[in-house]
Amino acid sequence: MTLVAIAPPNFDVVLDLRYATPANFTGKPVYARAAAYLHPDAARHLTRAIGLAAALGLRFKIFDAFRPSEAQWALWNFRPDPDFLADPRRGSPHSRGVALDLTLIDATSGAELDMGTEFDAFTPHSYHGAIEVSAGAQRNRHLLLGLMSAAGWDFYMREWWHYQLFDSRRYPVLSDTVIAPGLMGAA
């Protein structure tokens, strides 16, 4: 299996790969290397979404993409919460290379649009359709949802930032060995 590297200049996105830093819910890096990859099918859908966002003066900031099964286990072992994390025994769309965690940014300033919560805020305020966040954040979430849906992505109702290909289970779960060098390293 060959995954596609998601990075400029081939993809007009900003990378803020949180699991390669301590700025994630575990408080420590999960990945030893900051890099984003997707299955070629998912990369094509991302290209479509990038074009749709660009027409509105927006870009995407990517927090996570392919997540090796080893990383899914590390996250699950830290916080086994099936409302916000896929049980690694079943496999995550991330571990199949067909999911993204992302937000919208202004293409000129680079400022993130207000989504009402931070990425990986494991709370009902993170749900799509949460009315406890501001009206502006609700609009921004709907905008993100519209762009991603129009580009062929499905969403996860409990995480405004998570999008995956429809029928993601038809793709195999992948380990860190599918990319060289891997993401996990000595982390």
What is the per-residue pLDDT across 28-68, written as a single tens digit (0 to 9) for each? 999 999 999 999 999 999 999 999 999 999 999 999 999 99
Domain count across the chain = 1
Please indicate whether residue 141 or residue 1 has the higher confidence score (pLDDT).
141
Both tokens assigned to 14: 């900003």
Q: Is residue 185 part of a domain?
A: no
Determine the structural domain holding residue 168 and report its residue range.
Answer: 4-178
Please report, for the domain that includes residue 103, its CATH number: 3.30.1380.10
The answer to whether residue 26 sits within a structural domain is: yes
Question: pLDDT tens across 70-82, in order?
Answer: 999 999 999 999 9
Contacts of 146 (CB under 8 A, 6+ apart): none
Does 42 map to a domain?
Answer: yes
Which residues are tagged catalytic? 159
187 has pLDDT over 80: no
Helix (H) or strand (E) holding 13: strand 13-15
List pLDDT tens digits, range 92-117.
999 999 999 999 999 999 999 999 99
Query: Does residue 31 fall inside a structural domain?
Result: yes
Residue 187 is assigned to a structural domain of this protein: no
Q: Are 73 and 45 contacting, i.e. CB atoms less than 8 angstroms apart?
A: no
Secondary element (H or E) of residue 51: helix 40-54
Q: pTM to 2 decimals?
A: 0.95
Residue 76 lies in a domain: yes
